[in-house]
Amino acid sequence: MGIINSQAAGTGGEVKGKHAGKALFAAAWLAMAAFALPAAARGPECIVPAKPGGGMDLTCKLARKGLNAVSAATGVDPALHINYLPGGIGAVAWNSILTQRRAESDTLIVFSGGSLLNLAQGKYGNASAADVRWVAALGADYGMIAVRSDSPYKTLADLLDALKRNAGKISIGAGGTVGSQDWLKVSIIARQAGISPKKLRFVAFEGGGESITALLAGYVEAVSGDASEAALYAANGNIRVLAVMSDQRLPGVLSNVPTAREQGYDVTWPIVRGFYMGPGVSDEHYRKWVSAFDRMMTDPGFDALRAAHGLYPFALTGDALTSYVRKTVDDYGRQAKELGLSR
C-alpha cells in the first residue's frame, strides 16, 4: 500500500520518514510559536487543528454564528477568533493545550470522530480521553468518496472497477495516514469489493480542505473525506460525489448521491464534530461554555444554521458528551486492535 506525503503529491515523490519527521517537528514549533501571546490578549479563541477549508474550520464558523445569535442570553463573547494549528493530524493542537495552555478559560479546540480514532490508536502519544474537558458536540457529518467533475468515474462502481484493474495507478487523497478515518472508509469498501487495501495508493494530507484542493489541482484522482466538505464544492459543480456513508440519503446539495449501502457496500461512517477545553479550566468557566452551547442548540434558528454548514442533528454537551467520548474511544481502541493498528 502506497502512502505519499502531501508535500510530495505534486511531483509523485515520496518523503523519507526522517525528513518528514523533521518537517513535522519544525512545523509544530512554528505553529505553536504563533500562540505566544497571553490568552487575555487574544480573547475567545477557536483552534482548528488542521489547515483552513475543511470540516473542522466549518465547525468553528458554525459556533461563531450560533453563539452570536444567543450572546445576550448566554453572556459569552461570540467573537471567536479562529486560529489554525495543523500538525500530526490534531496531535500538535492537543499537545499545545496540555503542555502550554491547560487552564485557558476561553479557548475551544475542535475535535471530530477522527480525533477520537487517533486518540484510541495512540497517535496523540500516551494520552486518554480523560486528559481534557469535553464541552459540546454540535452535529454529525458523514463520510464520502468523490472525484473531480470531469473525472471518467461516474459512479462508485466505475472507480472500484478501475481499482480492481490497477489499484496502484489511482491516487486517493485522505486526511491522515494508515489507520485514519479517511483511510478506513475507502479500505473497508475496497475490501468488500474484493480489493486488498494494501494495494491502494493513498496520498496523506492534514485535512479534508487540503485533500479537495489537491483533487481540484489534479494531484489526486479521488478523495475520501466528509460530506460537509464535499457539499461546498459539489454545489459549484467542481466535484462529483460518488457515495455518502450514511444510513439514508442526505438532504440538500447531496440529495441525489446514493449511499454506499444502496450500491451494495455495507458501510456507514458518522462523524461527530464539537469542542474540548484544557484540563485546568475551572468548573465555573467550563460550565459557562457548556450552558452557552446548550442555549445555542435550542435556539429556533440553529437547525437551519447547522444544515447550512453541512452538519446533521447531533447534540451532546458536558457530562453526557464526556461519557459518549470515552465509550467511543474505547470502542475504537478495540477495533484498532482487531485491525492491528493500535499502539
Query: Alpha carbon 3 to chain centroid distance?
Result: 19
229, 137 Cβ separation under 8 angstroms: no
273, 55 Cβ separation under 8 angstroms: yes
Residue 84, C-alpha cell as written in the block? 489554525
Distance between CA 46 and CA 277 in Å, rounded? Answer: 10
pLDDT of 13:
36
- Torsion of Cα atoms, 204 then 111 then 181 then 334, to 10°: 130
Coil, helix or strand for 145?
Answer: strand
Residue 99, C-alpha cell as written in the block? 503542555
Q: Cα separations (Å) of 342 from 125, 127, 263?
A: 12, 13, 31
The pTM for the full model equals 0.71
For residue range 104-115, list pLDDT tens digits in order: 999 999 999 889
CA-based end-to-end distance of the chain: 20
Q: Quick one: which of 251, 273, 264, 203 has its CA closest to 58?
A: 273
Q: Which domains does the chain have, with CATH numbers?
A: 17-140+274-339 (3.40.190.150), 142-254 (3.40.190.10)
Distance between CA 41 and CA 33 in Å, rounded? Answer: 15
pLDDT of 54:
80
Query: Alpha carbon 204 to chain centroid distance?
Result: 13
Helix (H) or strand (E) holding 147: strand 133-148
pLDDT of 42:
60
35, 278 Cβ separation under 8 angstroms: no
For residue range 121-169, list pLDDT tens digits in order: 888 989 999 999 999 999 998 999 999 999 999 999 999 999 999 999 9
pLDDT of 256:
96
pLDDT of 281:
98
In this prediction, the residues of the chain whose per-residue pLDDT falls under 70 are 1-42, 335-336, 338-343
pLDDT of 338:
64
